[in-house]
Structures are given as structure tokens and as C-alpha cells.
Chains A and B, each alone.
Chain A
Amino acid sequence: MFLLRKEFRQIRRDKFMVRAIIGVPLLQMLILVPAVTFEMKHIDLAVTDYDRSPASRELVSRLTGSSFFRVCATPENYNQADDLLLAGDADMVLIIPDDCSKGLAGAVNPPRLQVMVDAVNATTAQLGWSYFASIVRDYNRDVIMSTGAAPSSIPGISVSPRFWYNPTLNYKYYMLPGILVILITAIGLMMCGLNLVREKEIGTSEQINVTPVKKWELITSKVIPFFIIGLLDLSLGLTIGWIVFNIPFEGSLLLFFACSAIFLVAVLGLALFLSTLASTMQQFLYVAFFFVMIFILMSGIFTPTESMPLWAQQFNWVNPVAYLMRINRMVMLKGSGFNDIARDMGMLAVLAFTFITIAIIAYRKRA
């Protein structure tokens, strides 16, 4: 179709665009996947040791022995430690009281450690704390055992976790499918919409509107190129994930692409609709950015949707990004099949149909 040929010719001619189409997914994958991670390494720990005993040194060396902590300072007293925390030089402060070793040796009161955590970022604070707690717990157990008490005399349930689907708890595996979704959201929503509004802004749409070209022809000629570019960039991103990050792909590639295709239709429909409302690229960018932001942050890319308030979970019923986020992770990491994701896929299809229908109704060749 000649309209399509024109679109491709224009895209191909735009050297910057061609570079962006290839460069953006490359950079996005290479930068975001390793960067956006919740794994904590090198938490700066300030230790004030009032005890100065072998036992307290053993505890500190256990902490620094893990890759999570490094001792950044050894303030002499509580106040100095507090200052370090305030200045942001330390993420955590550990205060070991002077009766620690006595307590461990079996004094009446068990030793009490004081820990202060910089919780400006709640997530890192939580993580740091849990690493810390587990190291202290291990140490505690060893101390008890070394005092001669038989292990069986310690009542307790033994839990040995095994992490399914991502056995090494590799954060990259969790983020990569999500970054792929962001990638095609940006292409679908921004690029397609901007292209449409640009024609409006420079007046070419006015010239086209007085021709006998039909509405559906115009719309398909605008949607198809970005649909194809979206899928191309998706393959590119996936290839990078496979080569650079060695991400496992458990499920069916076909299913993965089918879902992404449905998703692209939904996003393109939304872009089309927004472009009918906006008359300048500036207006469009502002509104589209808002949608991209809401969709992505609420989709569960960083925080599980299950922990969001109920209204947010309900909003995700109309959030195409949330569906694809879930589908991608299930298909890529768990190897889920069609039956497992049929509901999400169906909902995505309903959204795609609705968005594109609204867009077609809203699109006018005349005022």
C-alpha cells in the first residue's frame, strides 16, 4: 500500500530516527537491566564497639565477611555514630554494648545490640536489616552450639528455602522482562502518537484529509509501521538479554510475541486516541508521558501489584502494561503455557480492541 510505503520511506529517511530505533533498545537494555536492581552490596556500616572483646570482633568480621557490609568507620561513641548516619556517611550503625561478651558467656542478661538504619529508602533499609539479622542469627546459633548445648535441645523449625524460577535470586532475570515491556510501550505510545500529531502540526494531515483516502487506510498506515518497529525492537532487546545477560527463556517464543503484538495494538490504539485530542506535539508529549508513567509504575515492575492498595489493583484492570509485565515474567522465567496466561491474554485483547475502537471513532478527517 502506497501510504505504508510513504511512512516507511519517511522513517528510513530520518537518520536520527533510524539510529534511535536501533540504539534506544540497546542502551536501555544495557543500562537499565544491570542498574535497576534491589540487590544490596556494600552497605556502609559504622561500628561502635564498647566491648572490644574477641566475641564482638568475631561478630563484626562475620558481617564484613559477607559481601553485603563493609565497615566504613569505627566511631568512638554513640553520638559520633549518630552523626555519621545523619551525614549519610553510614547506612547502618551498630552499637555493641560493653557487656556483650559477658552476656555471651552466660551472664544473666543476654547481650543486646543496638542497630540504627538509615530508612530514607525503605526498601534498602529493609533489605539491609534482613541481611544483618540473618548474619546475627547464624552467629547466635554458633555461639549456642559452642557452649555445648546439643543442637537438638534447641527447639525450632528448620526452613531451607529453595527459590523457584530464579534460583539464584538474580535480579536481572526479574527486571529484564519488565524493561522489555517499557521499551515497546515507549515505541508504541510515543513514536506513533508523535508522528500523527506532527502531521497535524505541520498541516500535512489537512492536505491528506481533503483527498479520498479512507479513514481506515490512514489509520492502518500509521499503526502498522510502529507495530513492526515495536516487534523488531522487542526481538533486539530479547537478543541482548540472551547474549549479554544470559537470561533463560523457558516458555514459548511464539506465545511471547503473540502477547506483545496484542499489547502493541492496545498501546497504539491509545496513542491514536491521544493524538486526536492533542493539536501540538507538546500537548501530546505531556499527556502521553503521564500515561506511560502511571502505567509503568503501577504495572508491578518494581513493586508487586499484590501489595498495592485495592484501588490501584483495580486500576490495573485497564492497565495493559500490568498484563504484559505479568505475562512476560511468567512466560520467560516460569515457562508458563497458554493455559496459564489465557486470562491475562484475553483481558489484554479486550483492552486492545476497546482502545483501538475508541481511537477510530474519535479520529476525524473533518471538523
Chain B
Amino acid sequence: MAAVEAYNITHRYGKVTALDDVSFTVDDGELFGFIGPDGAGKTTLFRIAVTLIIPSGGRMTLFGLNTVNNYRELRNLIGYMPGKFSLYQDLSVEENLNFYATVFGTTLKENYHLIEPIYKQIEPYKKRIAGKLSGGMKQKLALSCALIHKPKILILDEPTTGVDAVSRTEFWEMLSGLKHEGITIVVSTPYMDEALRCDRIALIQSGKILGINTPDNIRRSYSQKLYAVRYPDKYKLLTSLRSLPLAPCPMPIAPCSEPYTLSPEPFGDSVHITLPEGTKPEEILKALETAGLPGATITEIVPGIEDVFLELMKKDE
């Protein structure tokens, strides 16, 4: 049985449409990620899933239970971690855990084994007030609290936002550990690199799902060959690539029906471009040299999630 089934979910806040006809399924035991920029509708979708919002249209079920009608039963099955740290900052680590355990009619002892790998890391600070924990520790505590009642599904809204890189890696390792325990995990993130750790991802933008697939398939769905161009002055490189005679399209994201677009996009230390059919990479270097950028390099690369995302976004527009 599917863990989550969503059919044509639509949600409006007044005139603003936050979610527009969203459908998807999450399999039992899957680690499913929603990838999208801020304001894409991830939080609204999650709040519907955890029975906090009644959607304007469509329906969603978790383990066959409807989020609107069966919310009472559902609340026992869901472990939810909102995007904002929302535990009691004036209670200690231990008190928070005990409190949430009691809320769900269980005890810390009973489900200790489940949270042990995570909780052990913050246990030395169990007497500390939650408000005085570091970001990474807060996040571990929040995860422990979301897990304390042995939920069948974890719903984590941007759990790694505002957390340092080391803690982020640690956190994803914890999630894979939980996945092995058989817990279904639905997670959202604005970080594309985290998407690779999911079984399947959904790309979401402006309330619409652009595509759902495994990270590998998503990357393979990129329609063209992709090249990375490197040059010390990246800004100069980007503007030059945009104005090369080959690329009549001045804006990177603007709709452009011209076949000769390079679609330059800045990525880390390089700019990603696609080449028009029949153009060789060397021609680009030559063009750059005449434009006053000698010594630039170009290499073919495997498209990342972000490349696909940007391509899909442009298509959508």
C-alpha cells in the first residue's frame, strides 16, 4: 500500500494559488524529497499532509486515511517537524522529549531504541534549556521529538535550512538510518545536492509539480549535452556568454524560441551552457577569446538536478 496518495490537491490563500492540481504517491518505506525554491508551495503541501490545513480542492490519504476526515487516527501515525524550530525553548532537552512522549501516550524509555542513534548525540546536554542549543542540536532534538511516538511516517519541512554543512550531512545519514527501520520519510529542501540522497524526488515550482523520478532518472532527463565553462572572472564570463553572437537570447531564463541559445547559468565556479546543434565547444572558446576572455576552459559534464530543474522551469513558462 502507498504511504501517501495525493489527488489533484489545490490550495488557495485568498487569490493566491499556493498549490495547483498536485498529484503524487509515496511508497511505503520510501525516502521522498520535494525540491523547490522558497514559495514553491512545499510548506502548504506538508501542512495539508499533517492535517493542519484542509485543502481547497483534491484529497490526500496517508496509509489509506484521509487527512480531512480521519485526522484523529492520522495524528498518531505522523511525526512532523515544521520548518521553524517549534519545541519549548524554555524547557530542557529531556523535558521536551518527555513532554512529547506523554502527549502521545508513550514514554521515553519505551521508544528509546528508536531515537537512540540521534538522541545519544545530544544526551550529554539533556538538562540544557532547548533555547540554548546550537542549530544542529536543536534539529536533532526536534527529530527525536518527532520520532518519540514511533510514527509510521516522518514529514520534515526543510529540516536542514539554516544548519551548518557538517550537521546537514549528519542529518541525512540519520534519515537513511531511519529509512532502514522501515519509516517512510517525506522531506522538503531547497538544496539540490540533498536531493541525491532521496529515493525519488519531486521538483516543485509555483505550486506545480514539474516532474517526479529517481534522482538519476531526473538527471538523465536533461535533453541536451551540457558543458561547464570556467574563467577566473565569472561575472565577465557570464555577461560575455550572454552576449556572444551565438546567443541572441539576452536573458538566461526568458522564454526564447531561437535555436541558438547557450542558456548560460552560473554554477559554483563555472557557468553551464548548452550548445546549439552543430556547434563545437572549441568555437565557444574562440568566440570568448575574441570577446577578450582568453584562456577559458570548457568540459562536458553530467547534468545535475539543478540543471534539470532550470530546464523544466523554462519549459513550464
| Cβ B99 vs Cβ A210 within 8 A | no
Residues of A within 8 A of B75 (CB): 210-212
| Cβ A206 vs Cβ B52 within 8 A | yes
In the assembly, what is the distance between CA of A56 and CA of B222, in Å? 110
* Contact status of A210 and B90, CB under 8 A, knowing A2-B102, A203-B84: no
Q: Which residues in chain B, 62-112, are within 8 Å of chain A measured between CB atoms? A: 71-72, 75-76, 78, 80, 82, 84-91, 95, 99-100, 102-105
Q: Does A14 touch B at the CB level, under 8 Å?
A: yes
Q: With both chains docked as a complex, state the minimum distance between the C-beta of B109 and any C-beta of chain A, in angstroms.
A: 15
How many A-B pairs with Cβ below 8 Å? 61
Q: Does A77 touch B at the CB level, under 8 Å?
A: no
- Interface size for A (C-beta < 8 A) is 20
| Cβ A9 vs Cβ B91 within 8 A | yes
| Cβ B78 vs Cβ A210 within 8 A | yes
- One digit per residue, 1 when the CB lies within 8 angstroms of any chain B CB and 0 when it does not, for chain A 251-279 equals 00000000000000000000000000000
Q: Which residues in chain A, 186-218, are within 8 Å of chain B measured between CB atoms? A: 202-204, 206-213
Partner of B82, one of A9, A207, A367: A207
Interface of B is mostly: loop
Q: Does A19 touch B at the CB level, under 8 Å?
A: no
Q: Does B50 touch A at the CB level, under 8 Å?
A: yes
In the assembly, what is the distance between CA of A6 and CA of B103, in Å? 11
Q: Which residues in chain B, 261-313, are within 8 Å of chain A measured between CB atoms? A: none
Residues of B within 8 A of A366 (CB): 51-54, 71
| Cβ B52 vs Cβ A203 within 8 A | no
Q: Does A162 touch B at the CB level, under 8 Å?
A: no
Q: With both chains docked as a complex, state the minimum distance between the C-beta of A264 and any C-beta of chain B, in angstroms.
A: 25
| Cβ B91 vs Cβ A211 within 8 A | no
| Cβ A367 vs Cβ B91 within 8 A | no
Interface of A is mostly: helix
Q: With both chains docked as a complex, state the minimum distance between the C-beta of A59 and any C-beta of chain B, in angstroms.
A: 68
Residues of A within 8 A of B102 (CB): 2
Q: With both chains docked as a complex, state the minimum distance between the C-beta of A360 and any C-beta of chain B, in angstroms.
A: 18
- One digit per residue, 1 when the CB lies within 8 angstroms of any chain B CB and 0 when it does not, for chain A 214-237 equals 000000000000000000000000
Nearest A residue to B81 via CB reads: A207
In the assembly, what is the distance between CA of A284 and CA of B95, in Å? 29
Q: With both chains docked as a complex, state the minimum distance between the C-beta of B119 and any C-beta of chain A, in angstroms.
A: 18
Residues of A within 8 A of B47 (CB): 367
In the assembly, what is the distance between CA of A9 and CA of B95, in Å? 10
Q: Does A170 touch B at the CB level, under 8 Å?
A: no
Partner of A10, one of B84, B90, B105: B90
Q: Which residues in chain B, 22-77, are within 8 Å of chain A measured between CB atoms? A: 47, 50-54, 71-72, 75-76
Q: With both chains docked as a complex, state the minimum distance between the C-beta of B16 and any C-beta of chain A, in angstroms.
A: 15
Q: With both chains docked as a complex, state the minimum distance between the C-beta of A206 and any C-beta of chain B, in angstroms.
A: 5
What is the size category of the interface that chain B forms with chain A? 20 to 34
| Cβ A211 vs Cβ B95 within 8 A | no
Nearest A residue to B88 via CB reads: A204
| Cβ A6 vs Cβ B104 within 8 A | no
| Cβ B86 vs Cβ A207 within 8 A | yes
Q: With both chains docked as a complex, state the minimum distance between the C-beta of A228 and any C-beta of chain B, in angstroms.
A: 19
Partner of B86, one of A6, A14, A204: A204
* Contact status of A2 and B99, CB under 8 A, knowing A210-B50, A210-B51, A212-B76: yes
Q: With both chains docked as a complex, state the minimum distance between the C-beta of B93 and any C-beta of chain A, in angstroms.
A: 14
| Cβ A207 vs Cβ B87 within 8 A | yes
| Cβ B54 vs Cβ A208 within 8 A | no
In the assembly, what is the distance between CA of A212 and CA of B95, in Å? 19
Q: With both chains docked as a complex, state the minimum distance between the C-beta of A10 and any C-beta of chain B, in angstroms.
A: 5
| Cβ A209 vs Cβ B103 within 8 A | no
Residues of B within 8 A of A14 (CB): 90
Nearest B residue to A1 via CB reads: B102
The CB with the most chain B CB atoms within 10 A, among A2, A3, A202, A209, is that of: A202
| Cβ B87 vs Cβ A204 within 8 A | yes
In the assembly, what is the distance between CA of A203 and CA of B86, in Å? 5
| Cβ A367 vs Cβ B53 within 8 A | yes
Q: With both chains docked as a complex, state the minimum distance between the C-beta of B253 and any C-beta of chain A, in angstroms.
A: 34
| Cβ B52 vs Cβ A210 within 8 A | yes
In the assembly, what is the distance between CA of A209 and CA of B75, in Å? 9
Q: With both chains docked as a complex, state the minimum distance between the C-beta of A2 and any C-beta of chain B, in angstroms.
A: 4
Residues of B within 8 A of A6 (CB): 88, 91, 95, 99
In the assembly, what is the distance between CA of A202 and CA of B78, in Å? 21
Nearest A residue to B145 via CB reads: A207
Question: What are the 6 closest A-B residue pairs judged by CB atoms, nearest first?
Answer: A203-B86, A2-B102, A207-B86, A203-B84, A211-B103, A210-B80
CB pairs A–B below 8 angstroms (24 shown): A2-B102, A3-B103, A6-B99, A10-B90, A13-B90, A203-B84, A204-B86, A204-B88, A206-B52, A207-B82, A207-B86, A207-B87, A210-B51, A211-B100, A211-B103, A212-B103, A213-B103, A366-B52, A366-B53, A366-B54, A367-B47, A367-B52, A367-B53, A367-B54
**A interface residues (Cβ-Cβ under 8 A, vs B):** 2-3, 6, 9-10, 13-14, 202-204, 206-213, 366-367
Q: In the complex, given contacts A202-B86, A366-B51, what are 12 additional A-B residue pairs having Cβ atoms less than 8 angstroms apart?
A: A2-B103, A3-B103, A13-B90, A203-B85, A204-B86, A208-B103, A210-B50, A211-B100, A211-B103, A212-B103, A212-B104, A366-B54
